[in-house]
């Protein structure tokens, strides 16, 4: 978008009105035509590399092998559960999918079940009409275009009905072991509250976190942050007394500086 809009609403060509073509070309930067898109601005954060490493080391001691709290048995049921989990609790989704996955735990069976029957199974979940439509459509697409299998590439996942960046990131992380980070409400809050990755959008927080999380911890950071946000650094009242990173945390809201004892959570 190189043109400006003038007061009349007409486009105003840059340089045309105030200089001869020669003068305009003399003023033009030599590399303007090959200018790269601007990189996201790096935000300075109040943590040293050692402090960040220590934060994730402690999370790794608490939960060496964190798992999703959504119930699933294979990549397909994981994908469906994540699609259904938007604006719903994991417990609510698990309750609804128990019977749904008993009758349809693969794309072909789900496509055969059809939108109306899927809707009946998930009536207790918010936005169930739209979600039923998406689950039926994505099952049909998997059968038609992917041999009934869940693809392991982001572009193919995001092309499925009802699947956005966040859902694709969860599936890539949990089912395919990729070092993705799906920013949900908990991770968004932690990124901003702790000033680990301040950002106005989930994408900005995602990029900020991926930039600072040390490589050995990237695979599980997604779950550690979600679970820390869900059970300790809660939205309304963080439980700082129970927090293993209370000494390192730079959140203004924190009420305690003494870290809770560090041990694996059963
Ligand atoms: S000290 Fe409090 S605010 Fe900081 S991470 Fe822990 S629970 Fe959250």
Structure tokens at 162: 């009802």
Ligand 1 pocket, residues with Cβ under 6 angstroms: 194, 232-233, 238-240, 243, 245-246, 249, 251, 253-254
Catalytic residue among 16, 105, 116, 166: 166
Residue 63's nearest CA partner among 246, 175, 217, 193 is 217
Catalytic residue, candidates 184, 234, 254, 257: 184
What pLDDT digit, counting tens, does each position of 128-162 carry?
999 999 999 999 999 999 999 999 999 999 999 99
Measured in Å, residue 76 CA sits from the centre of ligand 1 at 35
The span from the CA of 74 to the CA of 82, in Å, is 12
pLDDT (mean) for 87-108: 96
DSSP 261: P
Task: Show Cβ contacts of residue 121 under 8 Å, excluding neighbours closer than 6 positions.
Answer: 96, 97, 99, 100, 103
Contact 161, 175 (CB under 8 A): no
pLDDT tens digits for 20-70? Answer: 334 444 444 444 444 555 555 677 899 999 999 999 999 999 999 998 999
Helices (H) and strands (E) in the chain, counts: 11, 2
Which distant-in-sequence residues (6+ apart) come within 8 Å of 66 by Cβ?
220, 223, 224, 227
**157 alpha carbon – ligand 1 mean position (Å):** 34
Q: Which sequence spans correspond to the domains of the chain?
A: 49-66+180-242, 75-174
Q: Is 90 a catalytic residue?
A: no
pLDDT at 99 over 70: yes
**Residue 204 clears pLDDT 90, i.e. is over it:** yes
In the numeric block, which tokens belong to residue 64?
């060496």
pLDDT higher than threshold 50 for residue 95: yes
Q: What is the pLDDT of residues 166-199, one digit of tens each?
A: 999 999 999 999 999 999 999 999 999 999 999 9
Give me the mean pLDDT over the 2-27 stretch: 35
- CATH architecture for the domain at 49-66+180-242: Orthogonal Bundle (1.10)
What's the pTM value of the predicted model, to 2 decimals? 0.80
CATH among 1.10.340.30, 3.40.50.620, 3.40.50.280, 3.40.640.10 for 75-174: 1.10.340.30
DSSP H or E segment with residue 11: strand 11-12
What is the Å distance from ligand 1's center to 54 Cα?
15
Phi-psi group of 190: left, alpha or beta (phi > 0 → left; psi -120 to 50 → alpha; rest → beta)? alpha
Q: How far apart are CA 73 and CA 244, in angstroms?
A: 32
Decide: 216 and 225 in contact? Cβ < 8 Å.
no
């Amino acid at each position: 978008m190189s043109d400006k809009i003038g007061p009349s609403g007409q486009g105003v060509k840059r340089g045309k009105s105030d200089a001869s073509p020669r003068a305009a070309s003399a003023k033009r930067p030599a590399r303007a035509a090959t200018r790269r898109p601007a990189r996201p601005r790096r935000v300075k954060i109040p943590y040293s590399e050692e402090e960040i490493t220590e934060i994730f080391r402690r999370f790794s001691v608490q939960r060496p092998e964190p798992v999703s709290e959504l119930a699933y048995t294979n990549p397909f049921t994981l994908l469906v559960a994540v699609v259904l989990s938007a604006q719903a609790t994991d417990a609510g989704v698990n309750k609804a999918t128990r019977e749904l996955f008993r009758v349809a735990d693969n794309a072909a069976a789900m496509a055969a079940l059809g939108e109306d029957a899927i809707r009946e199974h998930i009536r207790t979940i918010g936005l169930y009409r739209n979600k039923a439509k998406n689950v039926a459509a994505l099952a049909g697409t998997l059968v038609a275009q992917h041999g009934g299998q869940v693809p392991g590439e982001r572009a193919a996942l995001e092309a499925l009905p009802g699947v956005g960046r966040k859902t694709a990131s969860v599936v890539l992380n949990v089912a395919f072991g990729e070092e993705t980070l799906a920013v949900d409400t908990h991770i968004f809050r932690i990124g901003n509250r702790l000033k680990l990755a301040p950002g106005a959008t989930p994408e900005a927080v995602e990029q900020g976190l991926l930039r600072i999380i040390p490589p050995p911890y990237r695979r599980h950071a997604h779950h550690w942050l979600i679970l820390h946000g869900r059970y300790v650094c809660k939205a309304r009242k963080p439980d700082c007394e129970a927090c293993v990173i209370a000494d390192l945390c730079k959140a203004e809201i924190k009420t305690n500086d003494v870290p809770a004892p560090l041990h694996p959570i059963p």
